[in-house]
Structure 1
Amino acid sequence: MKRFFISVLLVFILLNVNAQTPQGGRPGSGPSRGGGMPISSGIVGRVIDAQSNEAVEYANVALFNATDSTLVNGTITNAKGFFMLKNIPNGTYNMRVKFIGYKSHTINKISITDEQPVVRLKALKIEPANIELDAVDVTAKQEEVMFKIDKRVINVSENINTIGGTAVDALENTPGVEVDIDGNVSIRGSSNFKVLIDGKPTAMEGSEALQQIPASSIKEIEIITNPSAKYDPDGLTGILNIVMKKNIKGGLNGLVSASVGNDDRYDGSVNLNYRKNKLNLIGGYSYRQGGRGGNSESYYETYRNDTTFYRDEEGERGHTRISHNFKAGIDYDFNDANLLSFNAQYRLNERERGNESFYEQYTDPESIFVESYTEGENKDEGSSYELSGVYIHKFDEKDHELRLMATFSSNDDTESAYTLKDTLGTTTDIVEETLTETTENHNHGTFQADYELPLGSNKLEAGFKSSLRAIDYNQTGDILNPIPGSPSNEFVYQEDIHALYAMFSGPLGGVEYQLGLRGEYSRVFTEQKANDDSNTKEIFTVYPTLHFSYELNETNKLMAGYSRRVHRPRTFFLNPYEERSDAFTIRKGNPDLDPEYAHSLEMNYLKYFKQSFFNATVFYRQTDNNIGRIQKAINDNMVLLTFENINKETSLGAEFSGRHKFGKWLSANLSYSFFRYTIDGETSGEDLSNESVNHKVRGNANVRFGPNSNLQMFGMYYSPSVTSQGERDGFFFTGFGYKHLLLDRKLTLSLRVRNPFGNFKWRFTSEGSTFKNEFVRRPDFPVVYVGVTYRINEGFKQRRMERENGGTSQDFSEGMTVD
């Protein structure tokens, strides 16, 4: 109850400070439109993307004297795309709008007179710089990867190789992102990142969330490696924000897609949108069935006294997941100043994992030899729902806004796990069986208030967020070494986080800056009820953020950013109960783990050419209290897996990427990244320091056979990498996809093939003072998908346009009238 009153009190403080509406009419009623104070003379307008109709932030607006072309005034657009040029003398002017990645746009012959001292322009639509121009008609195509001041945007809709896949498949071909054999995602060597869906938190963790979201429902994925203070600091390497497809056109429209692949892979979705006047309704359903299978080999050595125990293994494993996702939402614009939105999502998940293996065990110097067979089967079913509501109030002044958001999510999961071990060929055949039932309930609620206040050409942002999370984990059955009288493994996790933040941004000379500070109080309580072992940690931490951007000229730009991040231990990292994960492995958490904290620094250079672009990034990340997965030999051929804070981890490296168009029919992307990765730490007196120089190369070619057919091919190479106790070998991966459009481009037929040569394998070795092991896994490949997509009430329209020095130009008198 105390936590609730703290959150409500903070809400009322914000509302009492900001609820007084400035004097004046509603937006658009008078000369104050476009700024906080009425202007005596000037030009007011807004810049938007011609393809998406979204605001273009930080676009440069320059005003020139029409007679001698001298620069008169200049500014940049704000977060909503608006700009205002004040105190412009009477005369005739030319105005140019430009931004990295877009064609420059010029408006000629704008007149400021006594009769019309203030000119308010209609929305200025600027075209992406990579629009492909035919002699008469053009077809717009967004870049697969776009760079903004604080993030990279992956355009999933343009990637054929995501057909039938998930968000993981969309990230496989992205600079700085790695995907392993099981679909686990890491950014610059770390899997500690936060996943948001349309800017809102989700109950699912990291790679788990990415593996469940169908690519057919995704518009873009935003990779935010240095988030501002407005975002939660969770995730050492930043945030992945999944932007789902929406439609703002009037009437009914939508998208229907389906695909089928080998090995019983199926994917289908329906997304509908209906808009009329102030009301917008959305609804959708998606189904996905997929999995991963393959075979493996492993070799283990454990050392005990003067004896070495050996184990050789050959096995097969399979993994199948089925998911149903339902979503619905409603948006209502009461008026120009008030918007209310509600969204709901419901998921059903089924997952089945199976494995079987044959083992040979022997010793040296003794001659004990044992053959054994093991099999395991895990089945789990789960359901989850997420509810969210957003209220937005816009004050009279442009970009003066209050946003309130509340979310609640709940996830229930039940898992049954069966393990059999059978010793073969011995006089005393020994059969061991283990059967456990596990339930997990996860509830998470948040309330957030964000306030934006323009201060001339600068902007102040402030707000707070409260997050309450409760997880109850309960396991019963035949568990390893149950505590006498308490055969169940019941673990409780409660987390309360309350945060306040403030940011200040704007231009300073030729530099755009953003400064932020976030203060956060967290309280984490854990309890293992089997032995009444409880632990409470209370921490207050501050998280500063800095971002800078400087445009050298129309085609060159520099950006830099710094942020402090945190990664809190997951629940199974903390649970101290011992349990078997297979016949030879025991897993145990560590309730004394502290959070990891990271300092992240990044500098970017962007260069655009007529048919190309080039990006160079230098980055550094230092992680303190690094949480490492530790492996220990505890008895004959048995291994304990646990987690410890092992001191420090660093990554220092660079990324280079570029794109070039070889005429109208061929374009290619190439990227290369490398970083020096170091681990500095120890456990139980054993040195865990390790280091490697990691490399990643990827290439992607796009071939157009005509306006309606497209072929994409990609390949990538990952170099070897290390962990605190091991090393992964390098590997190579390839794939291609084909797309063909029919029926006025409303119907899309597609084909996707991953790893067509089937030669991919994953090899890992690890070593400590009491053990050594290595294993190889070979997944089932190739994977083939064929798909079909139909757009309801939405065709692709081609347009005519003129090109002038790579940009567009028109006179003010030719349609550029005032609002």
Structure 2
Amino acid sequence: MKMIKMTSRILIMMILLVTAITAQDTRRSADFRGAVQGRVLDNATGNEIGYANVVVHNLPDSSLVDGAMSDENGFFYIPNIPAGRYYVSAKFIGFYEVLSSEFRLTPQNATVTLEDIRLKRAAIQMSEVEVVGDRPVIEFKADKRVINADQFAASLSGTAVEILENVPSIDVDVEGTVTLRGSSNFIVMIDGHPSIFEGSDALDQIPATLIQTIEIITNPSARYDPDGTTGIINIVTKKQKITGVSGQLSVNAGNGDKYGANAALSMRYDKFTWNNSLSWNDFQSGGQRTTDKTTTINDTAFSVLGDGRGEMHRKTYSYRTSLDWRPTDKFLISAQFNIGHYERSRTSNQMFEEYPVYSIYRSLDDNTRAGDYWGTGLEFTKKFDKESHDLSGSVSYRSRIGSEFNETTRRDENESITDRTKNTEDSNDSDWRLKLDYKNMASETRGFEAGIQSRISMDEEGTGTYGWDTTASQYVYYPQYSHQNDYEHVIHSLYAIYKRELGPFQWQWGARGEYTYRNMHLNTQDTTYLIDRWDVFPSLHVSLPLSENNQVMASYTRRIDRPRNWYLEPYATQRDAYSVFQGNPGLEPEYINAWEASWQLSKKKNYIAADIYHRTTENKVERVQSVIDKETLLFTFANVGKDYSTGAELSLNVIPYSFWNIFLSGNLYRYRVEGSFNGRSFDNSSNNWGVKFNNTFFVGTDTRIQFDTNYHGPSVTSQSEREGFWIASAAVKYDIGKKWTAALQVRDVFGTGRHEFTTTGPNFINATAFERESPIAILSLTYRFNNYKNGKNRPENGEGMNGDEDDLFLF
């Protein structure tokens, strides 16, 4: 209760602060400032002209008022212009200067959108050379990599997972599990806000057509939550920048019952912007699964061979909306709301043979997770008169109600039920988050950031276990295996960052302190497990520009990965006829120390980037297996020791011809784990590597053809070995006029996406393989109106997570 009272006081203080700032800024609004925006185009081709020089002139004396450069998509925005009459001039190398028509700025007409300014080519031109104006696949920033989603044909179908298949540092296996530098423990954010879901489940909820960019942050600063082993994946959704109403509608369909649709609508006016998106996805896939398990009891080997089919069905729909209000040009209030439903089911139908006493049986497994979620939030940002001096705050609430159903049926060769189990789980999770951030660049060479945050989570979970009574042909409830749990998790954080420039050398040092209070109450056993502690997470980032397009950087961060609730529950739960799961309430969180150094060299859209990194994990958590009897394995989690990852990445983007873009990346790292469990050494190591090769061909200005191939080398954990595999995909994308786009994508063209791994332990070896149906073909069609484009019309600085790149005031 003390935590909740403290949080309530913080919320009241934030509301009073927002009210005071709003009142202050409203008084200042009498000093009117307007804005003008528009696009610069090539009159001959209609293509956008990036980096054109745009100047606002006074009428009638033509004196210069202000100016800006158009961004890479031809869009320009010039704010802070007093009331009056003006015109705009635009020019670019190789083109004649063009003047716009006259316009007037008044409090009633504060933002003027000009008609497209079309520049005519100068007399000297090379008509036989066609330049295609596309952004690079990946842009390297000081603290992150920015993936331009519209450069992938996958951006017109599927989800964020399909785009990430071709991104450095990311691996996606045949079942859609995403790993970042070998780990699935990363944080997913949407427009800078933590997702309700985790890892691959979160990325599966986001339609690719609604994504503008994806930001990969492997070493986040102290400003961000320290959770996650390998960093943050932030999804930046599309938002229209032109005043008025605009939107898009996309539909897609594929073989094997794969369907999807989504729509986006944006309404933008002088002081208000309303963004909406609606999505629906129904995706089915299947494949062949084999199992070869051997256990040894008292020097006798028992073998089980399985062969059959597995099916996966994913269904989601969601609605997201946000409303931005700008009472003045230095203050913004934003409200967000999202609601949705998710459902994911897996079924398996396998025939098994047992040895040494031969018998045959069939196993039917059915697992379904489903639920509803919603979230809402309120934010404000106040920019002061000095550049890079602002105050921001937010409060958000998220809720998820879900259920899980798991059933395993075992039948003999006469199809009679010999064994059947059923497990159910119901959960009700809620989460509050409050934060306040302050930034002040005191001078051009030094600055300071600080902030405070509270996270409060309340979770309720109930499980039920049932066994089959073959005599009565009905389920019997097992109360001894059924439980009720309550979780309270509170984290209070305080961080500070100091930035400094010494000539060309830039560095920033930060530290984040976190107080954690976790109360896990097992109602069935009337037992409580309590955590009450402080942690400190330092970070250091340095950079040195060697020239305008040549830069080296280095960073260090300390992070934490906290065990999920179900990792901790100490109950033995029969998951199926052959496996039992039991959590471990004594699990300690993982602590990660990560070092990274990077070098980037670019020339126009050609670039090369190299990274070397080293990561150590203390209290390494592994999913471990052990033998219960000749058929049954026990699955649990344990802190097995320490692991180390040391590697290098190389990315290369080359445009050998105007119609051909080559993107090549490779990752090589040494993985080593040291530790023990139940008195047995878990030491293991492997050399891991992967290569991604992306070719994009431009046919005229309307057609794009892509061919991608990815190889994932073999890897190990403390108990498992995974075989290498490769996947090739192809796609063609065609623009039909200015409003329609069609695309055909074929994934796993050659059917090589086979996933094999072998787990070994005391007295057992378990080898499994899954081969997905292939190829997968998806056809998509997208309609846009009023220039709602794939990630275009964004401001020059982008729309990133960092406050100094936030474009909320570039309207």
Q: TM bucket by the smaller chain?
A: 0.7 to 0.9
The one-letter code of the counterpart of 2:371 is G
Question: What RMSD, in angstroms, separates the aligned Cα atoms of the two structures?
Answer: 3.1
Q: Establish whether residue 343 from structure 1 lines up as the match of residue 332 from structure 2.
A: no
Which sits farther off after the overlay, 321-330 or 614-623? 321-330
- Partner amino acid, structure 1, of 2:390: E
CA distance in 2: counterparts of 1:318 and 1:721, whole angstroms: 25
- Partner Cα separation in structure 2 for residue 258 and residue 680 of structure 1: 49
1:188 aligned to 2:181? yes
Give the AA of the match of 1:530.
Answer: T
CA contact (8 A) 1:46 1:81 kept: no
2:240 is matched with: 247
What does residue range 105-116 of structure 1 map to in structure 2 within 5 Å?
A: none
TM-superposition CA deviations, 1:255-309 (whole Å, max 9, x none):
1111110111011111000011101111121111113311111111111112111
Amino acid at match of 1:449: L
CA contact (8 A) 2:481 2:572 kept: no
Alpha-carbon contact 2:394-2:436 (below 8 Å) kept: yes
Alpha-carbon distance, 1:244 to partner = 0.8
Question: Aligned match of 1:451 in 433, 438, 441?
Answer: 438
Shift of 1:776: 1.2
- AA paired with 2:216? I
1:315 to 292, 296, 308: 308
- Tell me how far apart the structure 1 counterparts of residues 218 and 536 of structure 2 sit (CA, whole Å): 18
**Pairing 1:199-598 to 2, within 5 Å after superposition:** 199-363=192-356, 368-424=357-413, 431-457=418-444, 458-478=446-466, 486=480, 488-598=482-592
User: Do the aligned partners of 1:27 and 1:397 also contact (CA within 8 Å) in 2?
Assistant: no
In structure 2, the residue matched to 1:686 is 680
Of the three residues 634, 657, 676, the one matched with 1:663 is 657
- Would the aligned equivalents of 1:526 and 1:591 in 2 still touch at CA under 8 Å? no
Identify the residue that residue 608 of structure 1 maps to in structure 2: 602
Q: Distance in 1 between matches of 2:9 and 2:266?
A: 38
Deviations 1:205-238 (A, max 9, x none): 1111011211111111100000011100001100
Task: Give the deviation of 1:568 after TM superposition.
Answer: 0.5
The secondary structure found in structure 1 opposite 2:441 is strand
Tell me the residue number matched to 2:7: 7
Measure, in 1, the Cα distance between the counterparts of 2:250 and 2:12: 46
What do residues 655-682 of structure 1 show as CA deviations (whole Å, max 9, x unaligned)? 0110111211111011111000000110
Are the counterparts in 2 of residues 161 and 735 from structure 1 also a CA contact under 8 Å? no
Which residue identity does 1:209 align to in structure 2? Answer: A
Question: Unpaired runs of 5+ in structure 1?
Answer: 31-42, 56-79, 83-102, 104-132, 800-819
8 Å contact kept, 2:607–2:652:
yes
Alpha-carbon deviation of 1:612?
2.0
The one-letter amino acid of 2:214's match is: I
Residues 516, 483 of structure 1: CA spacing in aligned structure 2 closer, same or farther, 3 A cutoff? farther
Matches within 5 A, 1:3-152: 3-8=3-8, 49-51=71-73, 135=127, 139-152=132-145
Q: Shift of residue 46 of structure 1?
A: 7.6
* 1:5 Cα offset (Å): 3.2
For residues 493-542 of structure 1, give each alpha carbon's deviation from its aligned partner in whole angstroms, at most 9, with x where no partner exists.
22100000111113122112121110000111212222223211122111
Q: Count residues in correspondence.
A: 707
Q: In the aligned structure 2, how far is the partner of 1:657 from the partner of 1:28? A: 52
Aligned equivalent of 1:626: 620
**Offset, 1:249:** 1.1
Letter in 1 for 2:364: E
Letter in 1 for 2:73: Q
1:383 is aligned with what amino acid?
Answer: D
3-state SS of 2:327 partner: strand
Q: Which blocks of at least 5 consecutive residues in structure 2 are unaligned?
A: 33-64, 81-92, 94-124, 469-474, 793-811
- What SS does structure 2 have at the residue aligned with 1:212? coil
Matching residue's letter, 1:493: Y
Aligned pair in 2 of structure 1 residues 479, 601: CA closer, same or farther (>3 Å)?
farther
Q: Which residue of 2 aligns with 1:747?
A: 740
**Could you say which residue in structure 2 is the equivalent of 1:110?**
none
Structure 2 SS opposite 1:646 = strand
How has the CA–CA distance of structure 1 residues 477 and 634 changed in structure 2, closer, same or farther, with 3 Å as cutoff? Answer: closer
The separation in 1 between residues aligned to 2:278 and 2:488, in whole angstroms, is 33
What is the aligned partner in structure 2 of residue 163 from structure 1? 156
Q: How many Å separate the matches in 1 of 2:592 and 2:138?
A: 26
Shift of 1:732: 0.8
Aligned mates of 1:249, 1:44 — CA distance in 2: 20
The alpha-carbon deviation at position 10 of structure 1 amounts to: 5.4
Q: Is the 8 A contact 1:203 1:444 kept in 2?
A: no
d(CA) in 1 for partners of 2:207 and 2:13? 41
Give, in whole Å, the separation in 2 of the partners of 1:551 and 1:27.
Answer: 41
Structure 1 letter corresponding to 2:519? F
| Structure-2 separation of matches of 1:48 and 1:404 | 31
Are residues 45 and 162 of structure 1, via their aligned partners in 2, closer, same or farther at CA, if it must alter by over 3 Å? closer
Contact 2:131 2:658 survives alignment (8 Å): no
The share of aligned pairs that are identical, in percent, is 32
Instruction: Give the distance between the partners of 1:292 and 1:177, measured in 2 at CA.
Output: 22
TM-score when normalising by structure 1: 0.82
CA–CA distance in 2 between the matches of 1:411 and 1:680?
A: 38
Q: Secondary structure at the match of 1:398?
A: coil
Q: Secondary structure of 2:337's partner?
A: strand
TM-score (norm 2): 0.82
Task: Give 1:142 shift.
Answer: 1.4
Q: Is the 8 A contact 1:257 1:268 kept in 2?
A: yes
Residue 191 of structure 1 aligns with an amino acid whose one-letter code is: S
- Distance in 2 (alpha carbons) for counterparts of 1:660 and 1:687: 47
What is the SS of the residue equivalent to 2:204? helix
Say whether the 8 Å CA contact 2:240–2:788 is kept in structure 1.
no
Change (3 A) 1:482 1:607: farther
Check 1:473–1:53 CA distance in 2 against 1; reply closer, same or farther (3 A cut). farther
Change (3 A) 1:630 1:487: closer
Give 1:113's aligned residue: none
Counterpart secondary structure, 1:51: coil
User: Quick one: distance in 2 between partners of 1:311 and 1:728?
Assistant: 20
Alignment CA distance shift 1:401-1:318 (3 Å):
same
